[in-house]
């Protein structure tokens, strides 16, 4: 009630929430471009440093317009720090540990969400809460300013031909890893010697623009599909949370249920995506999201409250899993030279879907039913499009655009090997001409004819 945001002006509250989420969209796209041009570490440090004064500007806002602008820019700075750290963390992991490290970081995010209501109860005022969050960011920026705590991604340096910087960082990582076996030391020395020989000619650094994605076929297809699924997973979540609210008694109950379902989705991905593959788990979660949404859309007034509550919880959990796995999947199939920009576009699409939810919360709004119908239809369409994706489980990250284009779609289910390989022996490259194959085999097996007597 500070600026009379009630009654006829109540629509400004959802507007502020949408503006903040659009700031995350803007920050994801901008930081993605900066990651591919200036590096992951540079984008992270700059975003974190900018977040401190922007957070203070939100705290010191004197009118509603200033709050809107400050929250927009503050969200952009937070998105830049989140994206650059996400990409840098992924590129420092080997294939067996990429999923686990990313999900552990997701659990830390969830722990922060669980601590936020307690911090809000202690602060009691939104300005004090914003100031406390800004001070935490200031401490983080001061700690991460040391280069030894967050090194630049050597994978990105090698992909952009910055060999001298890559050699120094890899040498620092090798020295900090402790004593190794003689075999490992020999491999490290040979690798560093190879880097030194390559950097003798002072090769020119080469950066790639996000526009190059539009000139590809496989990378463009994968980016569109995963951006579409991330958009659906974030946008459809409001359709389930609206059905949860009437069944939850306390004010903070819906918040804790959402955080709990996010933790359950994160745990589900940890247990299944490494075993069954990214594509199969993403397909399963999208199917669960679509089925739950369609059942709630058509049968809510005929179902028991317990069934409605169960479908809503399943739908929220599955939609969380769709969003998280789509972003992680995209980070594995996008090549290193455009990973930041491509992932920024996909994260931006997910925040656009999330930004549509506050609009439907405007009083006297009639758009919730249309919102539910559109996103339920999109979920069914996403099920078909996921079948076109490749599988990235256990594979190394693609480096160049050529590596990204070489990814092919495997079968969804493993087929048993065929026992009949005879068509491969067909002459003249005609695999189904069994008559020629039989005639050739008969001639080879028949005994030679006796010589004619004269």
Q: pLDDT value at position 371?
A: 78
331 within domain boundaries: yes
CB atoms within 10 A of CB 199: 16
Contact yes or no for 32/345 (Cβ under 8 A): yes
Does residue 19 fall inside a structural domain?
Answer: yes
**Over 50: is that where the pLDDT of 421 sits?**
no
Question: Is 33 part of any domain?
Answer: yes
Contact (Cβ atoms closer than 8 angstroms) between residue 425 and residue 125: no
- Within 10 Å of residue 320's Cβ, how many Cβ atoms? 26
In tens, the pLDDT along 204-263 reads 778 888 888 888 899 999 999 999 999 999 989 888 887 777 666 666 777 888 899 999
Interval 122-135 mean pLDDT = 90
Q: Average of pLDDT values for 425-448?
A: 47
Give 265-281 pLDDT, tens digit per residue.
Answer: 999 999 999 999 999 99
Q: Are 304 and 362 in contact (CB under 8 A)?
A: no
Q: What is the mean pLDDT of residues 112-130?
A: 89
Q: Given CA atoms 305, 308, 314, 317 in this order, what sign does their dihedral have? A: negative
Residue 203 CB partners (closer than 8 Å, separation 6+): 161, 163
Closest CA to 234 of 299, 298, 98, 325: 325
Its domain, for residue 49, covers 11-150+209-387
Provide the number of structural domains found in the chain.
Answer: 1
How far apart (Å, rounded) are the C-alpha atoms in residues 9 and 15? 11
Q: Give the tens place of pLDDT for each residue, 157-203.
A: 988 888 888 888 888 777 766 555 445 555 555 555 555 555 555 56
Average pLDDT over every residue of 83-111:
92
* 407 within a domain of the structure (yes/no): no
pTM: 0.83
Instruction: Give pLDDT tens digits for 2-60.
Output: 777 777 777 777 888 889 999 999 999 999 999 999 999 999 999 999 999 999 999 99
Q: Are 210 and 340 in contact (CB under 8 A)?
A: no
Quick check: is 2 in a domain?
A: no
Kindly state the average pLDDT of the residues 308-326. Answer: 93
Alpha-carbon span 191 to 202, nearest angstrom: 18
Q: Are 379 and 290 in contact (CB under 8 A)?
A: yes
Residue owning tokens 């160049």: 400
Q: Looking at residues 431-449, what average pLDDT do you find?
A: 49
CATH code, domain carrying 328: 1.20.1250.20
pLDDT of residue 145: 67
What pLDDT sits at residue 250? 65
CA distances from 298 to 90, 302, 370 (A): 41, 9, 13
∠ at Cα 376 (373, 379), nearest 5°?
150
Q: Taking 70 as the threshold, does the pLDDT of residue 341 lie above it? A: yes
Assigned domain for 135 exists: yes
Q: Is the pLDDT of residue 424 over 50?
A: no
Q: Is 324 a member of any domain?
A: yes
Note whether residue 449 is domain-resident: no
pLDDT in tens, 347-398: 999 999 888 777 766 655 566 777 788 888 899 899 989 999 999 888 889 9
Q: State the pLDDT at residue 416.
A: 43
**DSSP for 67-91, written as a single string:** HHHHHHHHHHHHHHHHHHHHHHHHH
pLDDT at position 64: 87
């Amino acid at each position: 009630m500070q600026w009379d945001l009630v009654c006829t002006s109540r629509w400004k509250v959802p507007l502020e929430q949408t503006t903040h989420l659009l700031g995350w969209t803007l920050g994801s796209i901008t930081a993605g471009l900066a990651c591919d041009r200036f590096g992951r570490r540079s984008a992270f440090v700059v975003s974190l440093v900018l977040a401190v004064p922007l957070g203070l500007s939100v705290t010191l806002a004197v009118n509603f317009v200033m709050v809107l602008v400050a929250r927009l820019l503050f969200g952009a700075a937070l998105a830049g720090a989140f994206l650059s750290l996400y990409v840098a963390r992924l590129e420092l992991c080997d294939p067996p540990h990429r999923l686990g490290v990313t999900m552990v970081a997701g659990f830390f995010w969830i722990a922060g969400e669980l601590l936020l209501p307690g911090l809000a109860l202690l602060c009691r005022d939104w300005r004090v809460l914003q100031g406390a969050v800004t001070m935490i960011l200031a401490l983080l920026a001061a700690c991460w300013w040391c280069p030894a705590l967050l090194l630049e991604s050597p994978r990105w340096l090698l992909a952009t031909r910055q060999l001298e910087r890559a050699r120094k960082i890899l040498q620092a990582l090798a020295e900090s890893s402790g004593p190794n076996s003689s075999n490992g030391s020999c491999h490290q020395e040979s690798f560093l010697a190879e880097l030194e020989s390559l950097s003798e000619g002072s090769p020119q650094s080469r950066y790639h623009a996000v526009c190059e994605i539009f000139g590809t076929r496989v990378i463009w297809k994968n980016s569109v599909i995963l951006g579409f699924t991330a958009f659906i997973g974030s946008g459809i979540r409001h359709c389930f949370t609206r059905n949860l609210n009437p069944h939850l008694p306390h004010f903070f109950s819906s918040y804790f249920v959402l955080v709990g379902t996010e933790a359950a989705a994160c745990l589900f991905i940890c247990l299944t995506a490494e075993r069954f593959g990214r594509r199969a788990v993403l397909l399963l979660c999208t199917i669960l999201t679509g089925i739950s949404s369609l059942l709630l859309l058509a049968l809510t007034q005929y179902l028991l409250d317990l069934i409605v509550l169960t479908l809503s919880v399943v739908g929220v959990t599955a939609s969380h899993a769709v969003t998280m796995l789509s972003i992680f999947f995209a980070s594995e199939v996008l090549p290193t030279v455009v990973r930041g920009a491509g992932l920024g576009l996909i994260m931006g699409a997910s925040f656009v879907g999330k930004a549509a939810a506050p609009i439907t919360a405007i009083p006297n709004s009639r758009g919730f039913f249309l919102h539910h119908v559109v996103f339920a239809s999109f979920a069914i369409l996403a099920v078909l499009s996921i079948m076109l994706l490749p599988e990235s489980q256990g594979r190394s990250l693609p480096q160049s655009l050529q590596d990204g284009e070489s990814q092919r779609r495997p079968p969804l289910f493993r087929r048993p090997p065929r026992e009949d390989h005879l068509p491969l022996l067909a002459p003249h490259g005609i695999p189904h001409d069994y008559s020629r194959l039989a005639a050739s085999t008969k001639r080879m097996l028949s005994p030679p004819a006796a010589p004619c007597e004269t």
